[in-house]
């Protein structure tokens, strides 16, 4: 007997560039500035809160939508920061990370043949999520190199079949942050439509130089149509815990939870209780911009002594660099060369575009210990 052949639901999907580059970094002993996670620990107090919840016996299934106290803390945080009141019972859902939140939002709303607008370059899960729902991906490029939204092109992409749009600010991979004027322009553009919005805001607390994070929740015209997604893993340096949340109007949340209850049901109980207790003090997320801006500034100052040219980094924990003064190689080839020969792993920006788009740009992650960044910079100075 032979194993039956599966007709792939995602025939064009292979191993992600993040997996490839991380494996190459490990194989070569390179410093991995490619994959976007910290190489330092989260707050021991947060870990202790989770451990205490375990010791208290909080180890069985929590409510499907999430531990009530955690949803209350999330709602309070959103109101304090963005002025939007969400009902914790009917409008906040705790998810198994932001990735699960995004696919659940897509699956609950997108039907076969519906169009979903994504802005390239974009995070690699968006397109496969849309494909799994049977939707049609409509790709609109952000302005090359500045990565600002091109509203004329976005407007031209909207049709009667458009069901949803996905935006991401602060943006991965480009590290740009949408301004209030841009968010208001988006609200005006969508106002006469029934287009839903996924606002991927996982880097909401990583904004620099006094810029505000303008959440979709802060604009009523966007909040009424939006699934607003965030990530505790990104905010509290515990990406492996895979806990996030979605805030959305009650009618949208009801549909979201129909899918959520069958693709994950609920999320790790002691982690939820620990996060709820930790959130009683808002300082960890309020202090995060200063924490990461210091790392960004340290890293950018070091890059200025290399032949790499750093582009603007307004938010997230990424830094895009122009390597045109170093090499004529295509982006993927350059990142492989940089990993093998210089000992620093990076991600080609072309990987965030369908079919690639060569600009001689690479993405580096500065969510690392200072000594890791200094060691990487010492190697990059050899370019």
Q: Where are the domains of the chain?
A: 17-42+286-380, 44-282
Describe the crossing of helices 288-303 and 370-380 by its angle, rounded to 10 degrees: 20
CA distance 306 to 362: 14
Report whether 115 contacts 161 (CB < 8 A). yes
According to DSSP, residue 309 is labeled E
79-98 burial, b at 16+ Cβ within 10 Å, e below that, comes to eebbebebebebbbbbbbbb
CA distance 118 to 128: 12
Asked whether residue 1 carries a pLDDT value surpassing 80, the answer given is no
Helix (H) or strand (E) holding 187: helix 180-190
Q: Which CATH architecture has domain 44-282?
A: 3-Layer(aba) Sandwich (3.40)
| Burial of 337 from C-beta contacts in 10 A (0-12 / 13-18 / 19+) | middle
Query: Any bridge partners for residue 244, and if so which?
Result: 95, 231
pTM: 0.96
Question: Which residues, 6+ apart, have CB-to-CB distance to 47 below 8 Å?
Answer: 41, 274
Least confident of 6-15, 23-32, 144-153, 224-233: 6-15
For residue 23, what pLDDT band results from cuts at 50, 70 and 90? very high
Asked whether residue 7 carries a pLDDT value surpassing 80, the answer given is yes
Pick 17-42+286-380's CATH classification: 1.10.3720.10, 3.40.50.150, 3.90.1150.10, 3.40.1010.20: 3.90.1150.10
332-368: pLDDT as tens digits: 999 999 999 999 999 999 999 998 899 999 999 999 9
Asked whether residue 169 carries a pLDDT value surpassing 90, the answer given is yes
Average pLDDT, the chain: 97
Q: Are strands 309-310 and 318-322 parallel, antiparallel or unpaired?
A: antiparallel
Strands (E), 188-332: 196-200, 226-231, 244-247, 309-310, 318-322
Asked whether residue 96 carries a pLDDT value surpassing 90, the answer given is yes
* CA-based nearest residue to 144, from 322, 309, 326: 322
Averaged pLDDT for residues 284-310: 98
Helix (H) or strand (E) holding 32: strand 31-32
């Amino acid at each position: 007997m032979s194993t039956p052949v599966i007709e792939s639901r995602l025939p064009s999907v292979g191993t992600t560039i993040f997996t490839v580059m991380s494996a190459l970094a490990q194989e070569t002993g390179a410093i991995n500035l490619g994959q976007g996670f910290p190489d330092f620990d989260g707050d021991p107090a947060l870990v202790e809160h989770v451990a205490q919840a375990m010791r208290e016996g909080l180890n069985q299934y929590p409510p499907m939508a999430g531990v009530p106290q955690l949803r209350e803390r999330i709602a309070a945080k959103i109101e304090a920061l963005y002025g939007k009141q969400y009902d914790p019972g009917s409008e906040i859902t705790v998810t198994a990370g932001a990735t699960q939140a995004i696919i659940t939002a897509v699956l609950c709303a997108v039907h076969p043949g519906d169009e979903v607008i994504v802005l390239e370059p974009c995070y690699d899960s968006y397109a496969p999520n849309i494909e799994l729902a049977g939707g049609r991906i409509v790709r609109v490029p952000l302005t090359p190199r500045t990565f600002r939204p091109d509203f004329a092109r976005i407007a031209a992409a909207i049709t009667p079949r458009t069901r949803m749009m996905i935006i991401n600010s602060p943006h991965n991979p480009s590290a740009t942050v949408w301004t209030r004027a841009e968010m208001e322009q988006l609200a005006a553009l969508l106002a006469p439509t029934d287009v839903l919005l996924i606002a991927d805001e996982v880097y909401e607390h990583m904004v620099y130089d006094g810029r505000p994070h303008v959440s979709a929740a802060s604009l009523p015209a966007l909040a009424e149509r939006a699934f607003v997604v965030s990530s505790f893993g990104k905010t509290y340096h515990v990406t492996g815990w895979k806990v996030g949340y979605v805030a959305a109007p009650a009618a949208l949340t009801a549909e979201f939870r129909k899918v959520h209850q069958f693709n994950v049901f609920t999320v790790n109980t002691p982690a939820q209780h620990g996060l709820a207790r930790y959130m009683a003090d808002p300082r960890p997320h309020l202090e995060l911009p200063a924490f990461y801006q210091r790392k960004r500034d340290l890293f950018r100052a070091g890059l200025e002594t290399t032949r790499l040219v750093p582009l603007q980094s307004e938010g997230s924990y990424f830094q895009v660099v122009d390597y045109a003064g170093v090499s004529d190689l295509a982006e993927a080839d350059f990142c492989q060369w940089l990993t093998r020969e210089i000992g620093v792993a990076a991600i080609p920006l072309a990987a965030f575009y369908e079919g690639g788009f060569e600009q001689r740009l690479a993405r580096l992650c500065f969510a690392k210990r200072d000594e890791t960044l200094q060691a990487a910079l010492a190697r990059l100075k050899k370019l």
